[in-house]
A = this chain, B = another copy of it.
Amino acid sequence: MPQPARSIQAAPGAIDPLPQPYLLFLGDIAEPAYAKTAFGLRDWAGERCVGEYACVGAKVSTGLRFMPPEQAFAEGARSMVIGVANPGGRIPPAWLPSLLQGLEAGLDLIGGMHARLEAIDSLRRVADRLGRRLIDVRHPPPGIPVAHGRKRSGMRLLTVGTDCAVGKKYTALALVREWRGLGVDADFRATGQTGILIAGQGIPLDAVVADFAAGAAEMLSPDAGADHWDVIEGQGSLFHPAYAGVSLALLHGSQPDVVVVCHEVGRDIVLGHPGYPLPGIEDTVELTLRLGRRTNPQIRCAGVSLNTAKLDAAQAERLIAAESERLGCPVADPMRGGEAFRRLAQACLR
């Protein structure tokens, strides 16, 4: 018989890890664009994904082994992650039998959609009866303090952006993967829902009450060994008319030693804010260093991460070389990797 999942209690002021490994749940969707979370988990946390499960008739697959929750539990899974979003962020009734099956099989449920798992009566009742947890990664942990501003031990890198959705999370993940390959002791520190699922822990920074946002960033990357690197997922942009405050709190609380500026080629207007031209890369570097110096006078920019998804390989290579020449620093697209990215990753460690 499956035992109730052991409740993992973190120390006060620490961040609860998510129960892992995962079984990825794909619902009944037919459109791969809605499964971005599942694909992200496959790509960046594949070693902690036992397999995938879906409703009858689902048309999207991550390519992981398909297995029912009972088998996943037997193979070590401890939670089922809702890895898809449907338009509107709701949980359709058609998913409920599969979710209940997961609970019965011994798995906790993890979601990050607009609809709260706790708000669905049947899930809550069964979870209560079985001692399972319904975990919503959109909710910050309790006990986040006001930032103290004191320097912490260890090294920190923060990815910052010219806008939202330019590649800050992927840049951070790619740097950690590259560094670990070199034997560097590094952790990815997640500040958004998908990142939290990938890391298995983190704080959804945009959901923290404003007065505690810098404190959350401090809590996210605590004191560590002198050679340890925290690679922190950036949020928003210092130039964003709605989210700049979040970005500044994250910058101040992270106290990064190194920043990497992320930009998407061809983006020249802030996403969803037609009146706002995107800042230049140089402006972003300059303002980030100026404001970041307040909590870490040693802050420096190691280079630029360019999202070249809209270019072909030859165009991307030419642009990356030209931008590196123009800006006088390493420039790379982490999704393309190669020598340019290795140089960027090295420059961060210098």
- Whole-angstrom CA separation of A211 from B250 in the bound complex: 12
User: CB of A60 within 8 A of chain B?
Assistant: no
Contact mask for chain A residues 171-212; partner B; CB cutoff 8 A; 1 contact, 0 none: 000000000000000000000000000000000011111110
Min CB–CB distance A165 → chain B (angstroms): 14
User: CB of A214 within 8 A of chain B?
Assistant: yes
Residues of B within 8 A of A207 (CB): 209-211
User: CB of A57 within 8 A of chain B?
Assistant: no
Residues of B within 8 A of A245 (CB): 210, 213-214, 245-250, 252
CB closest residue in chain B, given A246 = B210
Residues of B within 8 A of A151 (CB): 275
The residue that A241 contacts in the complex, of B147, B205, B209, B247, with Cβ under 8 A, is B147
B215 and A210 contact, CB distance less than 8 A: no
B239 and A214 contact, CB distance less than 8 A: no
Residues of B within 8 A of A119 (CB): none
B276 and A149 contact, CB distance less than 8 A: yes
Residues of B within 8 A of A65 (CB): none
B244 and A214 contact, CB distance less than 8 A: yes
User: CB of A243 within 8 A of chain B?
Assistant: yes
The residue that A210 contacts in the complex, of B148, B208, B291, with Cβ under 8 A, is B208
User: CB of A273 within 8 A of chain B?
Assistant: yes
- Whole-angstrom CA separation of A247 from B207 in the bound complex: 17
A206 and B206 contact, CB distance less than 8 A: no
268-312 of chain A: CB within 8 A of chain B: 273, 275-276, 291, 294-295
- Whole-angstrom CA separation of A242 from B248 in the bound complex: 10
250-272 of chain A: CB within 8 A of chain B: 250, 252
Residues of B within 8 A of A250 (CB): 245
Min CB–CB distance A6 → chain B (angstroms): 31
Residues of B within 8 A of A252 (CB): 241-242, 244-245
Residues of B within 8 A of A147 (CB): 241-242
- Whole-angstrom CA separation of A149 from B146 in the bound complex: 28
Scoring A150, A207, A209 by chain B CB atoms within 10 A of each residue's CB, the highest score goes to A209
- Whole-angstrom CA separation of A243 from B213 in the bound complex: 8
B295 and A241 contact, CB distance less than 8 A: yes
- Whole-angstrom CA separation of A205 from B241 in the bound complex: 16
Min CB–CB distance A114 → chain B (angstroms): 14
- Whole-angstrom CA separation of A241 from B239 in the bound complex: 19
A206 and B210 contact, CB distance less than 8 A: yes
Residues of B within 8 A of A148 (CB): 241-242, 273
The residue that A243 contacts in the complex, of B211, B247, B276, with Cβ under 8 A, is B211
A209 and B209 contact, CB distance less than 8 A: yes
206-231 of chain A: CB within 8 A of chain B: 206-211, 213-215
- Whole-angstrom CA separation of A48 from B223 in the bound complex: 51
Contact mask for chain A residues 115-130; partner B; CB cutoff 8 A; 1 contact, 0 none: 0000000000000000
Scoring A205, A211, A214, A248 by chain B CB atoms within 10 A of each residue's CB, the highest score goes to A211
- Whole-angstrom CA separation of A214 from B215 in the bound complex: 19
- Whole-angstrom CA separation of A213 from B205 in the bound complex: 13
Min CB–CB distance A289 → chain B (angstroms): 14
Known: A207-B211, A214-B245. 14 other contacts (CB 8 A): A146-B242, A147-B241, A147-B242, A206-B209, A207-B209, A210-B210, A210-B249, A211-B246, A214-B241, A214-B242, A244-B294, A245-B248, A245-B249, A245-B250
